[in-house]
């Protein structure tokens, strides 16, 4: 049974800024009215910068991962190289090239945009931009921010899928990036 009805947008009746920690987060408390007239008086909506993430593969089929402490789960985690898109980055690809160099000291001449996905559509319009970097190579030392303490790992491409299925890589954003990149690599999707 197919319904041709498209859901209507919500109406913001009122809002107030409750957190202003630019550039990382602005949090609004909104009073929103749904199309059926129901009102949510304390809906939280955030503004966050977009994030870029790369599945970087070397010529000898090694995937570049970074291990770092993540305060949410209070543990070290393995992730794909990633970071916030800076206001002065001219594009998501430029931001990703910068982040890969800063975190790992690697560069690539073979980049492919895989997807741009909304990170949390219930709470924000922020996007996660995924890239595949093939023939990644060392190109100088990493340049970590004061907030970064990470260790780079090179893992055989053949081992990456099992690291996801066994939970060794458990960050949702990295798992999505890995699965998207593996799909591109196995189907030769351009």
Q: What is the pLDDT of residue 189?
A: 62
| Each residue's pLDDT tens digit, 96-111 | 999 999 999 999 999 9
* pLDDT value of residue 1: 57
Q: What pLDDT digit, counting tens, does each position of 44-80 carry?
A: 999 999 999 999 999 999 999 999 999 999 999 999 9
Tens-place pLDDT, residues 1-32: 567 788 999 999 999 999 999 988 999 999 99
DSSP state of 176: H
- Is position 162 within any domain? yes
Backbone CA torsion sign across 164, 169, 170, 174: negative
Residues 166 and 182 in one domain: yes
* pLDDT (0 to 100) of residue 73: 93
**What is the secondary structure of 83-132 as a DSSP string?**
EEPPTT-SSHHHHHHHHHHHHHSEE-SEEEEEEEEES-TTTB--EEEEEE
Tell whether 97 and 22 lie within a shared domain.
no
Degrees, nearest 5: CA angle 87-95-103: 120
Which residues form the domain of 56? 51-187
pLDDT at 146: 86
pLDDT in tens, 104-130: 999 999 999 999 999 999 999 999 999
- Regarding whether 129 and 148 lie in a shared domain, the answer is yes
Provide the pLDDT confidence category of residue 190 given band limits of 50, 70 and 90.
low
Q: Do residues 43 and 55 share a domain?
A: no
Same domain, 109 and 132: yes
């Amino acid at each position: 049974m197919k319904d041709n009805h498209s859901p209507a947008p919500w109406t913001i009746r009122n809002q107030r800024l409750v957190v202003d920690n630019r550039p990382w987060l602005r949090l609004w408390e909104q009073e929103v009215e749904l199309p059926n007239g129901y009102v949510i008086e304390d809906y939280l909506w955030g503004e966050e910068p977009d994030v870029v993430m790369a599945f970087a593969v070397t010529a000898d089929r090694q995937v570049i991962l970074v291990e770092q402490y993540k305060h949410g789960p209070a543990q070290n985690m393995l992730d794909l190289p990633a970071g916030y898109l800076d206001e002065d980055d001219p594009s998501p690809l430029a931001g990703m090239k910068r982040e890969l160099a800063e975190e790992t000291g690697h560069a690539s001449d073979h980049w492919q945009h895989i997807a741009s996905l909304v990170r949390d559509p219930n709470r924000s319009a922020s996007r996660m931009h995924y890239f595949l970097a093939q023939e990644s190579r060392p190109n100088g030392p990493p340049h970590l921010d004061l907030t970064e303490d990470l260790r780079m790992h090179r893992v055989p491409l053949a081992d990456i899928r099992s690291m996801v299925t066994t939970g060794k890589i458990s960050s949702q954003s990295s798992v999505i990036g890995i699965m998207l990149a593996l799909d591109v690599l196995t189907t030769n999707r351009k």
